[in-house]
Homo-oligomer: A and B are copies of this chain.
Amino acid sequence: MTRKTKFPADSASESTHLVLPPDSNVHGTLFGGRIMEWMDVIAGIAAGRHAGGPVVTLSVDSIRFSRPINMADVVILKASVNYAGTTSMEVGVYVEREDPQNEHREHCLTGYFTFVAVDAAGRPRQVPILAPQTDKEKQRYQRAQERRAQRLDASTTK
């Protein structure tokens, strides 16, 4: 059976949240555990769309918080599949806050999530080939491949 091909745009996923009191930490800003939960969900949705079925989280890397997110901020999460191997996929998640007054957006954090597609019995399952189209997508594909090599290297030498 020929393996299907999909584009990054086919599985790109976006979510919009509002920071409410139960999402806040003791500083009155967005709690780190909550934003990671939101990132894991939207990254898993993107991976599931590429895989066409259930996925499980394998690893999380390079989450960088560059700016706090405040109570009442609108938070926009954009996830896209950067790279797909035989059964695993790397998804990048880009997070922005939006100023409620003027809709000005600022980048707040980024992170990389790796998932494996699974069948009903929980065994790894082949995913479609990812065909990056734009220059940005090709660059993301390349960098994700480098991060993947580093992760495999790290797990071998440990």
Contacts and interface: CB of A to CB of B under 8 A. Distances in A.
User: Copies of this chain, how many?
Assistant: 6
A127 to B, nearest CB: 13
A102 interface: yes
Given A18-B41, A45-B18, A65-B59, A54 B36 contact: no
Interface in A52-97: 52-54, 56-65, 68, 71-72, 74
Q: Which 10 A-B pairs have the closest CB atoms?
A: A33-B37, A32-B57, A60-B63, A26-B72, A33-B40, A22-B22, A36-B36, A32-B40, A15-B16, A21-B24
For chain A, what secondary structure do more than half of its interface residues adopt (helix, strand, loop), or is it mixed? mixed
Contacts of A18: 26, 41, 44-45
Interface in A21-36: 21-22, 24-27, 29, 31-34, 36
A130 interface: no
A14 interface: yes
Given A16-B14, A26-B71, A48-B74, A60 B36 contact: yes
